Chains A and B, each alone.
Chain A
Amino acid sequence: MKIKQVSVFLENKSGRLREVAQILGDAGINISAFTVADTSEFGVLRLVVDNPEEAFRILKERHFSVRTTDVLLVNSSNKPGALSQLLNILSEEGIFIEYLYAFTMNDDNAVFVVRPTNVEKCHTVLEKYKDDLNGKGK
Chain B
Amino acid sequence: MIWNEKIECASRDEMAAIQSIRLERTVRRIYHNIPSYRAKMQEIGIMPGDIKSVEDISKLPFTNKSDLRDNYPFGMFTVPMSEIVRLHASSGTTGKPTVVGYTRNDLQMWSEVVTRALCMAGVHKNDIVQVAYGYGLFTGGLGLHYGTENLGATVIPISGGNTKKQIQLMQDFGTSVIACTPSYALYLAEVMKEMGIAPGSLKLRIGIFGAEPWTENMRREIEAKLKIKAIDIYGLSEVVGPGVSCECSHQTGMHISEDHFLPEIINPETLEPVKNGETGELVFSTITKEGIPILRYRTRDLTRLIYDKCDCGRTLVRMEKCKGRSDDMLIIRGVNVFPSQIESVLLEISETEPHYLLMVERDGSLDVLKLMVEVQEQFFSDEIRELEALRKKITNAIQSTLGVSAEVRLVEPKTIERTAGKAKRVIDNRKY
Q: Are A41 and B409 in contact (CB under 8 A)?
A: yes
Tell me, yes or no, whether A44 is within 8 Å of chain B by CB.
yes
The reply to whether B412 and A9 contact each other, CB–CB distance below 8 Å, is yes
- The answer to whether B380 and A41 have CB atoms under 8 Å apart is no
A65 CA to B414 CA in the complex, in Å?
10
Classify chain B's interface size: 10 to 19
**B387 close to A (CB within 8 Å):** yes
A129: chain B residues at CB < 8 Å are: none
From B377, B379, B382, A46 is in contact (CB under 8 Å) with B382
Would you call B417 an interface residue if the criterion is a C-beta within 8 Å of the partner chain's C-beta atoms?
A: no
- 15 A-B residue pairs with CB within 8 Å: A9-B375, A9-B380, A10-B412, A11-B411, A11-B412, A41-B409, A46-B382, A64-B413, A65-B375, A65-B376, A66-B377, A66-B380, A67-B377, A67-B381, A98-B383
B15 at the interface (CB under 8 A from A): no
Interface residue SS majority, chain A: strand
Q: State A65–B386 Cα separation when bound (angstroms).
A: 15
Within 8 A of B (CB), among A43-84: 44, 46, 63-67, 69
Q: Which 4 A-B pairs have the closest CB atoms?
A: A7-B382, A63-B414, A65-B380, A65-B375
Q: Is there an interface contact between A11 and B413, defined as CB atoms closer than 8 Å?
A: no
B394 nearest CB across to chain A (Å) = 13
- 1/0 per position for B368-388, CB-CB distance to A under 8 A? 000000011101111110011
**How large, as a class, is the contact surface on chain A?**
20 to 34
- B10-25 at interface with A (beta carbon < 8 Å): none
A99 within 8 A of B: yes
Q: Is the CB of A37 within 8 A of B384?
A: yes
| Residue from A37, A65, A69, A99 in contact with B412 in the complex, judged by beta carbons closer than 8 Å | A65
CB <8 Å contact, B379 and A65 = yes
- B413 — which chain A residues lie within 8 A by C-beta? 63-65
Query: A42: CB under 8 A from chain B?
Result: yes
CB distance from B398 to the nearest CB of A (A): 17
> Nearest-CB distance from B406 to chain A (Å)?
14
Contacts of B388 in A (CB 8 A): 39
Given A9-B387, A11-B411, 8 other A-B contacts at CB below 8 A? A9-B380, A39-B388, A42-B387, A44-B383, A44-B384, A64-B412, A67-B381, A98-B383
A69 CA / B375 CA spacing, docked (Å):
17
The one of A7, A41, A98 in contact with B410, judged by C-beta atoms closer than 8 angstroms, is A41
Docked CA distance A67–B379 (Å): 11
Task: Name the residue on A nearest B411 (C-beta).
Answer: A11
Whether A99 contacts B379 by the Cβ 8 Å rule is no
List the B side residues contacting A46 at CB < 8 Å.
382
Complex Cα spacing A90 to B58, Å: 78
- Rounded to whole angstroms, the CA-CA distance of A23 and B40 in the bound complex is 60
The complex places the Cα of A39 from the Cα of B390 at a distance, in Å, of 14
B340: interface (CB < 8 Å): no
User: Would you call B168 an interface residue if the criterion is a C-beta within 8 Å of the partner chain's C-beta atoms?
Assistant: no
Is residue B108 contacting chain A, with contact meaning CB distance below 8 A? no
> Are A69 and B411 interface neighbours, CB within 8 A?
no
- CA gap between A46 and B383 in the complex, in Å: 10
Interface residue? B415 (CB, 8 A): yes
* Of A39, A63, A64, A69, the contact of B382 (CB 8 Å cutoff): A69
